[in-house]
Amino acid sequence: MRHDHLITAKQLSREDIETVLDHAAEIADDPAAYGDRHAGTLLGLLFFEPSTRTKMSFETAMKRLGGDVVDMGSVESSSVKKGESLADTARVIEGYADALVLRHPSQGAAKMVSEFVDVPLLNAGDGAGHHPTQTLLDLYTMRETAGLDGLTVGIMGDLKYGRTVHSLSYALTNFDVQQHFISPKSLQLPRNVRYDLHETGAMVKEHTDLEGILPSLDVLYVTRIQRERFPDENEYRKVAGQYSIGLEALEPAKDDLVVMHPLPRVDEIDPEIDDTHYANYFEQAHNGVPVRMALLDLMLGGEL
């Protein structure tokens, strides 16, 4: 299927995902071979929310393909401050760039903008909605470490507001993967996501404790409580600090458990895990570059 834009992981078939991951693996093997591939191409960066990894890895990816970026910069220094609408901002920047990457605090923002622009638009996070490019690097990391089919995956933390979780859970339904969701009751999956997952016939279970399910997991994907999305700070305080793991908590786990996290972490994973064989989150972040190179190459070439 040909995609004009990448808005949600729901639009990606297994074949689409494998095309991106295979291409990312080719690029990771010989990145220099792609150094001139998109010389002269400009990627427009529209980030209305903080970002380190996503923005910098998109920028690195575009530059490693021989292109460059034009960056709207911070909201504070842009015309958004003067009251310009998101649609207008995007329509202007599409005139400067060959593709756009958008991160925005409002759920549905990327979908809305995609109706106004003709160049490829990549959703880099829309509020508590979706984050499909993160999902591609998550899947790449899983495939490299644990293999993708026949897996039992635990996804723990803020499942309500965590957009990486929503995108990942949709994408995993394309594979033979059992999904276990671990969270406090107040941060369980949104009803619509749960409904969609059940509709696909995916093997999905929800838990409030990690302990019981941990020994059967091949991958544990830990997420940050999304403090900035809580309408009430008191509600955040009730759940802050819960669902953090240290080395001792991992004792009952399989020896080859892969621990992942989209980062940034706050206190969900004790740094004592960082130097153990469980930790894969820094490699996961590094994989953002070959995966985004692959995605940009395929989308700019009209091959995805």
Which residues, listed in sequence order, are joined to residue 179 by a DSSP beta bridge? 153, 204
Please write down the long-range contacts of 235-242, taking CB distance under 8 Å and 24 or more positions apart: 235/186, 238/186, 239/158, 239/184, 239/186, 239/187, 241/267, 242/184
Task: Kindly identify the residues of this chain, within the stretch 46-65, that bind ligand NCD according to CB under 6 A.
Answer: 53-54
- Contact call for residues 78 and 70 (beta carbons, < 8 A): no
- Contact call for residues 218 and 257 (beta carbons, < 8 A): yes
Nearer to ligand NCD, 123 or 174 (CB): 123
Considering only 129, 132, 262, 290, the residue that binds ligand NCD (CB under 6 A) is 262
Does 263 engage in binding with ligand NCD (CB under 6 A)?
A: yes
254 labelled catalytic? no
- Contact call for residues 260 and 217 (beta carbons, < 8 A): no
Nearer to ligand NCD, 34 or 100 (CB): 100
In angstroms, what is the minimal distance from the CB of 281 to ligand NCD? 10
Nearer to ligand NCD, 34 or 140 (CB): 140
Does 224 engage in binding with ligand NCD (CB under 6 A)?
A: yes
103 labelled catalytic? yes
- The residue assigned the tokens 């890895």 is 57
Does 67 engage in binding with ligand NCD (CB under 6 A)?
A: no
Q: Which tokens is 304 given?
A: 């995805």
Neighbours of 298 (CB within 10 A): 18
Task: Kindly identify the residues of this chain, within the stretch 117-176, that bind ligand NCD according to CB under 6 A.
Answer: 125, 131, 134, 163-164
- Residues identified as active-site: 53-54, 82, 103, 131
List of residues contacting ligand NCD (CB under 6 A): 53-54, 125, 131, 134, 163-164, 224, 262-263
